[in-house]
Amino acid sequence: MDRIKESFDSLPIAACFFDKNGVVRLINRRMLAITNWLQKGGIQSLAEMQSALQAPPASVCCLDPHLRIYRFPDGTALRFAQEQITTKAGA
């Protein structure tokens, strides 16, 4: 499992996976830094992420609410996307 986490952390994108109850199950370093900008202490659930994106802190600027594009304190602009993933077992 450590190798998977290391590989996940080295991705050039920010990524986070939530379980069916909306709880964070896997988050890479880049997304962890982003969630800390959105909410002090980070994000623990999908609901917290959605709430933080709907009303971001003053240091985060929403550039386009329809496309979900935000500018962060380091000057980067990021687009947020959400997709449901289903396992072969149907979970």
Closest by alpha carbon to 38, among 54, 56, 23, 58?
Answer: 56
- Which of 16, 15, 85 lies closest to 44, judged by CA? 16
- Using one digit for the tens of pLDDT, what is the confidence trace for 37-57? 999 988 999 999 999 999 999
Percentage of residues in the chain having pLDDT higher than 90: 73
Classify the phi-psi angles of 22: left when phi > 0, otherwise alpha if psi is within -120 to 50, otherwise beta. Answer: left
- Is the confidence at residue 89, as pLDDT, over 90? no
Which has the closest alpha carbon to 43: 34, 79, 72?
Answer: 34
